[in-house]
């Protein structure tokens, strides 16, 4: 392969000296970036490093305060997302941006529909063009079905089809793999490679470093809004990249302490919820971290929700410290010492418009009441205490949580539940979408909790995390527990075999 960055073709899209501030926050400072046709370029950086702002600048959502966007070497100004699209730039955002009520065909051609006489929409041409795109991508999605209910992977396919439909020359993908299973990631990468080979420039963002190394040729690193380096990935190691992103050597990513497990803290017996999971039995001992692995949709989150009492179970029983839990009653689960840190922190873990202080305080409303009234002082000191313990980065404890980066939001959710001093902690995807630095801190924290005698059940789709942190790995496949693998025997192969139902 030629190296376009040396002498070859000119960059299709370039940023020169871009700066952008939001109020007092300088999101980007003097950032430059060049995208060449036929390359997949990684954009790396911790949460809050300015990646999202950079993408939105390329997409025409934000206008830079200073600096230039160059398209084919000529400066351009995007007045809105429509301008960027007309310039051949397609963005696939982390959060899907489809219209749930409209058909797939309409989603793809929104804003640029084929017309017939009298400027009417040509529904048939729209549909046929969509069918052709789906064929080209090798997926079977009915152009007429509404986008509502599509899996994340299929939603991304629709977004990619949208990009193909206007022959995008630049494809920007913001953490496209965060919610995908391994086979879906493989399908996505197949599509990305095909696009690259057809001469498209792809800007790829992922927190999974191995993916960056797998599919990208060069990487641009941002730290705190500043450009750090743009360089080929050849010859770099994951540690090199992490050092660029974090600006320091990272303490070990999986700081698992050896602990001798104590008595059984959580016991789940023959738990069944019809059509969702069947006959699930396991124990978690004090001091133990038990990983719960499996493909997305295997029923892991559903088991956690039932154990905690959010959903009812149809058969079986759950004991915490020998105390039977009532079916469908989170309050008794909490009273028994169970805590659940949910998968979707924005929707389920936090009240986004409330302060850090009050979010952490939510689980302690009983403990911080004096004579029937809230003791605001007690709430504040309790929240401050935990925010400091977990090293949450914030300006003031009274700031709303939506001002925090994803990683810090996750810490607030953790603080909220740790403040209840649980005996059993269930964490669902504790590090999804958060940066390596914070990830290591969350791991250190989980390890510390286990060492202090808390029983931890960790649901995670991040295999290295499961292998690195868990004393034992439970694997679910299609609603059933298919394997229990001790730490010493757990490898990617054994876990994946069980997760895909190939286990012996």
Positions in the binding site for another protein (CB under 8 A): 59, 61, 80-83, 85, 91, 93, 97-102, 106, 110-111, 113, 115, 119-121, 123, 136-142, 144-146, 148-151, 154, 183, 186-187, 189-191, 193-194, 214, 297
Pick the closer one to another protein by CB: 107 or 410. Answer: 107
- How far is Cα 276 from Cα 299, in angstroms, rounded to an integer? 6
DSSP letter string, 203-259: EEE-S-HHHHHHH-SEEEEEETTEEEEEEESTT--HHHHHHHHHSSPPPPS--PPP-
CB of 216 to another protein, least distance (A): 14
Two tokens, residue 485: 């693998």
Nearer to another protein, 114 or 453 (CB): 114
Residues in contact with 441: Cβ distance below 8 Å, sequence separation at least 6, in sequence order: 390, 391, 411
| Lookup result for tokens 């295997």 | 298
With contact defined as beta carbons under 8 Å apart, do 33 and 54 qualify? yes
Instruction: Give the separation between CA 481 and CA 272, rounded to whole angstroms.
Output: 11
d(CA 108, CA 130): 7
Residue (123 or 487) nearer to another protein, CB? 123
Q: In this complex, which beta carbon is closest to another protein, that of residue 140 or of residue 353? A: 140
Q: Which of 117, 222, 215 is nearest to 173 (CA)?
A: 215
Spatial strand order in the sheet of 226-232: 74-76, 66-71, 13-22, 25-35, 226-232, 218-223, 40-44, 201-205, 170-174, 89-92
Nearer to another protein, 23 or 149 (CB): 149
Least separation in angstroms between CB 93 and another protein = 7
226, β-bridge pairs: 29, 223
- The burial class, CB within 10 Å (0-12 / 13-18 / 19+), for 130 is buried
C-alpha closest to that of 19 among 29, 9, 10: 29
> Smallest distance, Å, CB 39 to another protein?
17
Shortest distance, position 3 Cβ to another protein, whole Å: 23
Tell the burial category of 388 from Cβ atoms under 10 Å away from its Cβ (0-12, 13-18, 19+). exposed
Distance CA 212, CA 408 (A): 24
In the complex, minimum distance from the CB of residue 149 to another protein, in angstroms, rounded to a whole number: 3
Least separation in angstroms between residue 190's CB and another protein is 5
* CB 365, min distance to another protein, A: 29
Q: Specify the residue, 122 or 314, whose C-beta has the smaller distance to another protein.
A: 122
Size of the chain in residues: 504
Q: Report the nearest approach of another protein to the CB of residue 110 (Å).
A: 5
17 vs 146 by CB, closer to another protein = 146
CB of 335 to another protein, least distance (A): 32
**Would you give the end-to-end CA distance of the chain in angstroms?**
42
Q: Least Å distance between CB 207 and another protein?
A: 18
CB nearer to another protein: give 188 or 459.
188
5 vs 182 by CB, closer to another protein = 182
Residue closer to another protein by CB (options 214, 239) is 214
Q: Which is nearer to another protein, 17 or 81 (CB)?
A: 81
Shortest Å distance, C-beta 172 to another protein: 12
> Cα(184)–Cα(140) distance, rounded to whole angstroms?
14
Question: Which residues 6+ apart lie within 8 Å of 430 measured at CB?
Answer: 341, 410, 414, 442, 446, 458, 460
Minimum distance, C-beta of residue 130 to another protein, in the bound complex (Å): 13
CA dihedral for 301, 254, 347, 456, sign (positive or negative): positive
Which two three-digit tokens encode residue 123?
A: 């529904």
How far apart (Å, rounded) are the C-alpha atoms in residues 349 and 353?
12
Nearer to another protein, 191 or 425 (CB): 191
């Amino acid at each position: 392969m030629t190296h376009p960055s040396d002498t070859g073709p000119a960059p299709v899209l370039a940023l020169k000296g871009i700066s952008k501030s939001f109020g007092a926050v300088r999101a980007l400072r003097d950032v430059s970036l060049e995208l060449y046709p036929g390359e997949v370029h990684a954009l790396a950086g911790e949460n809050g490093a300015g990646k999202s702002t950079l993408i939105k600048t390329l997409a025409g959502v934000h206008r830079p305060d200073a600096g230039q966007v160059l398209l084919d070497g000529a400066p351009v100004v995007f007045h809105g997302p429509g301008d960027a699209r007309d310039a051949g730039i397609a963005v696939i955002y982390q959060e899907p941006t489809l219209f749930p009520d409209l058909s797939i065909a309409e989603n793809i051609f929104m804003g640029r529909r084929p017309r017939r006489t009298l400027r009417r929409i040509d529904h048939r041409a729209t549909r046929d063009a969509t069918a052709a795109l789906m064929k080209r991508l090798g997926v079977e999605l009915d152009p007429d079905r509404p986008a509502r209910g599509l899996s994340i992977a299929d939603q991304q396919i629709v977004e990619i089809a949208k990009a193909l439909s206007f022959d995008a020359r630049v494809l920007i993908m913001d953490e496209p793999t965060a919610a995908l299973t391994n086979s879906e990631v493989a399908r996505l990468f197949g599509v990305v490679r095909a696009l690259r080979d057809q001469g498209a420039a792809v800007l790829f963002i992922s927190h999974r470093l191995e993916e960056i190394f797998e599919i990208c040729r060069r990487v641009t690193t941002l730290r705190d809004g500043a450009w750090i380096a743009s360089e080929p990935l050849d010859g770099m190691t994951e540690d090199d990249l992490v050092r660029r992103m974090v600006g320091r050597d990272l303490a070990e990513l999986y700081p698992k302490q050896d602990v001798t497990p104590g008595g059984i803290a959580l016991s789940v017996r023959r738990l069944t919820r019809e059509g969702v999971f069947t006959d699930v039995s396991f124990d978690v001992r004090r001091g133990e971290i038990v990983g719960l692995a499996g493909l997305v949709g295997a029923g892991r989150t559903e088991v956690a929700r039932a154990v905690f009492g959010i959903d009812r179970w149809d058969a079986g029983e759950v004991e915490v410290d020998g105390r039977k839990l009532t079916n469908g009653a989170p309050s008794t689960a909490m009273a028994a010492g169970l805590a659940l840190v949910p998968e979707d922190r924005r929707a389920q873990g936090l009240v986004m418009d409330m302060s850090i202080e009050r979010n952490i305080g939510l689980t302690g409303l009983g403990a911080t009441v004096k004579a029937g009234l809230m003791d605001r002082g007690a709430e504040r000191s309790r929240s401050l205490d935990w925010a400091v313990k977990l090293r949450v980065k914030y300006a003031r404890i009274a700031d709303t949580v939506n001002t925090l980066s994803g990683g810090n939001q996750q810490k607030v959710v953790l603080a909220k539940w740790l403040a209840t001093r649980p005996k059993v902690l269930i964490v669902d995807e504790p590090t999804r979408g958060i940066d390596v630095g914070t990830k290591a801190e969350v791991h250190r924290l989980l390890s510390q909790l286990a060492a202090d005698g808390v029983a931890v059940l960790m649901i995670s789709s991040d295999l290295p995390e499961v292998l690195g942190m868990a004393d034992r790995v439970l694997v679910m496949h299609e609603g059933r527990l298919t394997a229990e693998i001790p730490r010493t025997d757990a490898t990617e192969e054994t876990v994946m075999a069980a997760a895909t139902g190939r286990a012996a």
